[in-house]
Chain A
Amino acid sequence: MEMIEHAIRENSLVGAFAFVGLIMWISVHLSRKLTFGRVHGSAIAIVIGLALAYWGGIQTGGSKGLADLKLFAGIGLMGGAMMRDFAIVATAFEVQVDEAKKAGLVGVMALLLGTIIPFIVGASVAWSMGYTDAVAMTTIGAGAVTYIVGPVTGAAIGASSDLMALAIATGLIKAIMVMVFTPVAARFMGLDNPRSAMVFGGLAGTVSGVSAGLAATDRRLVPYGALVATFHTGLGCLMGPSVLFLATKAIVG
């Protein structure tokens, strides 16, 4: 047993390939046997991944879920930002250029709305729960945009570290909700063509939420959503500490 553990630790990325392959295999079977294909195998796999991340976080007290366990360090590399972005870029190979061009303008509009709506919701909730100063409202509002925009904005306007932690938690919950509930709400949102995927990518925000949510809904829609969603964090980091902070300050003083 120790020898196997040693082998996996020495070859962590290879271990991750095998482990994720196993999760996928289990998920596809659960999807077929338990739900008769109604729930997508990848949706089940993502939920299993999140559950394992919770378990890993409890076990180690770390911040990287399952990847904090030495045996599963390869998961950190395989699912890290580098590999994630590399795989997302690769999906662009399947994009039908005309489809993407047709929805360009509506994608930009969705991107703007996707920054402003979550911000207003987050800032309003913060205000109603007693965080009435502009810095706190802006930081939490920015956290509701994405979990990267929150701390970046907070750092720029001088928020305390508890506020930033709160903003990160807000963004994380949002990302997890998008991952889990996108396939459930796909029909309601009309998510069945490239244009709608681009609208979704702009409004749902967070590359991780959008990419996992679309993967669990229809793999072919991924590149269209991701193409728009990758501008989300940049736009949020641009607007958060500037326009949105100033607007909040003008309103609450």
Chain B
Amino acid sequence: MIIYGTAILAACHLLGVYIGDLLGAFIGVKANVGGVGIAMMLLISARVYLHKRGLMPDTTEAGVGFWAAMYIPVVVAMAAQQNVVAALKGGPVALISAIGAVLLCACTIALINRTGPKRQDTAWQTGTVAEES
């Protein structure tokens, strides 16, 4: 049933956020530490485990796949509720800091990626992206 997939996704999400909160409290930070990242790792483990045992029929996968495909529309909705006005009102300090940080980080990313190992692996490209037209 399709809800099984969505339920597994929801369970991983909640457990990950809970662990992230615990981690934050443990190290004394007023924030969730990597909750979503932990949830992603839980979901990956769940997929691998269930797949090996043959407990992951296509319909169950569709219950997760739908939400993965909804990702871009959700991001568009997220963009539509950013506080753009406040961002533009921040003045020169905010603007220059942000531009400087973005430029320097972009250069660092380019540096790391260009010096890294060149690999021709293409396995990652054959994902299960549902919405590509």
Contacts and interface: CB of A to CB of B under 8 A. Distances in A.
B55 interface: no
Given A92-B40, A122-B101, A200 B109 contact: yes
A174 B102 contact: yes
A148 B80 contact: no
Contact of B31 (A124, A152, A174, A193): A152
A79 B64 CA distance: 18
B110 A219 contact: no
Contacts of A181: 102, 106
Given A176-B84, A230-B35, A49 B77 contact: yes
A219 to B, nearest CB: 6
Most chain A beta carbons < 10 A, residue from B17, B76, B106, B119: B76
By DSSP majority rule, is chain B's interface helix, strand, loop, or mixed?
helix
Interface residues of B, number: 85
Nearest to B30: A152
B75 A110 contact: no
A134 B33 CA distance: 25
A199 B112 contact: yes
B71 A90 contact: yes
Given A54-B85, A56-B80, A90-B64, A190 B71 contact: no
Contacts of A211: 71, 75, 78
Given A140-B93, A234-B24, A89 B80 contact: no
A164 to B, nearest CB: 12
Interface residues of A, number: 118
Interface string A158-182: 0000000110111111111111010
Contacts of A16: 77
Interface string B58-97: 0001001101101111111111111111111111111111
B108 A220 contact: no
B3 interface: no
Interface in B38-62: 39-41, 43-44, 47-48, 61
Given A17-B73, A50-B79, A80-B78, 8 more contacts: A21-B73, A79-B77, A86-B67, A125-B100, A152-B29, A208-B82, A220-B124, A230-B34
Interface of A: 16-17, 20-21, 23-24, 28, 42, 45-50, 52-54, 56-58, 63-67, 72, 75-76, 78-80, 83-97, 99-100, 106, 110, 113-114, 117-118, 121-122, 124-126, 129, 131, 140-141, 143-144, 148, 152, 155-156, 165-166, 168-179, 181, 185, 188-191, 193-196, 199-200, 203-205, 207-208, 211-212, 215, 219-220, 222-224, 226-228, 230-231, 233-235, 237-238
The 8 A-B pairs at the shortest CB distance, nearest first, are namely A169-B90, A79-B77, A49-B79, A234-B33, A190-B113, A57-B85, A92-B40, A79-B78
